[in-house]
Amino acid sequence: MTKIVFFDVADYEVDYLMRSCDGEFDFVLVEESLSSISNILSEWRDAEVVSCFTTSRIGKDVLKKFPNLKLLALRSVGFNHVDIDYCKKHKITVVNTPNYGNMTVAEFAFGLMLDVSRKITLAYNDLKNAIVDAKHTIGTELFGKTIGIVGLGAIGAEMARLSYGFGLKVLGYDIKEREILREKYAVSYVPFDELLRRSDFISIHAPLTKDNYHIFNMKSFEKMKPNAIIINTARGEIIDTQALYNAIVDGKIAGAGLDVLESEEILTDPDYLVDVGRMKVNALQKIVLNNSLLKLDNVIVTPHIAYDTKEAIDRILSLTMANIYAFENGVVQNKVV
């Protein structure tokens, strides 16, 4: 019987996974994340399948501890937390769960945009502190403004749909242009620099690649409107955190809504507290900047929860089990590598 170890298992996932695996697999459900200094118990090491979320950091040091591993079933779309080269070299199949949260993430991104532009959280915090100051919470309307969407895949397309419905003019930047988005949501594809110059709002929905690492840097922010607001629900490393902080403090842009940050795993992974020497200087610098961003009135930061709805979680679990069952039957679906 195939052995599966599920890591990052939340309470609300237990019933579904037990029902799906009981009698079919030898399985273990583990609440903790999987990382290079996790205490990987001996009874887990013979697993042929490992499933985890993005909070696990799966480098070669981790993968070496599973000599029988054949399938890494990610409960996420992204896979930048996995040593893909090691998996390729050792013939470990990696699959993900695409399209589980297209609308989910787009709705959250739009919510961040509304929050920052209308200063909703700022007003709420003021009121809790018995402060009512209308001048402090003057916002900006969305209707008639221009949004630039970087990455018009499944999630970006949903963001275009929502934006079009709110009466925003939609600019798009993507390596692949889709005619259907022009027809349905009046998307105008433009070069990146033009998108920067013309947009009142920018929302990022691109996967992290070597080509777009820090694509939003100081030069980018200098091209943007001083009233522009940037939203990131994709990957933190697409934005240079130092450049973002400087741009906001210096008034080069008006604000930001961030569900992802550079080096965000340090904020959530207890292993870093067990061994602080594991942190690199660059990561520590990012943490200082992240904490500074949290103190700014015109920035909203949330802890990577754009995907987090009951409906999306149900789809993640369903897709994960479908991927595992397919693999058991000799079929690989949703393959990353």
Active-site residue set: 235, 264, 304
3-state DSSP assignment of residue 69: coil
User: What are the counts of helices (DSSP H) followed by strands (DSSP E) for the chain?
Assistant: 14, 12
Retrieve residue 184's tokens.
Answer: 């349905």
Retrieve residue 176's tokens.
Answer: 């692949």
Is the Cβ–Cβ distance between 224 and 196 less than 8 Å? Answer: yes
CA 151, 156, 157, 159 torsion-angle sign: negative
Q: Which residues of 2-13 are buried (b: 16+ CB within 10 A; e: fewer)?
A: bbbbbbbbeeeb
Is the Cβ–Cβ distance between 97 and 323 less than 8 Å? Answer: yes
């080096």: which residue's tokens?
A: 263
Q: Which residues of 151-161 are buried (b: 16+ CB within 10 A; e: fewer)?
A: bbbbbbbbbbb
Among 151, 161, 175, CA closest to 231: 151
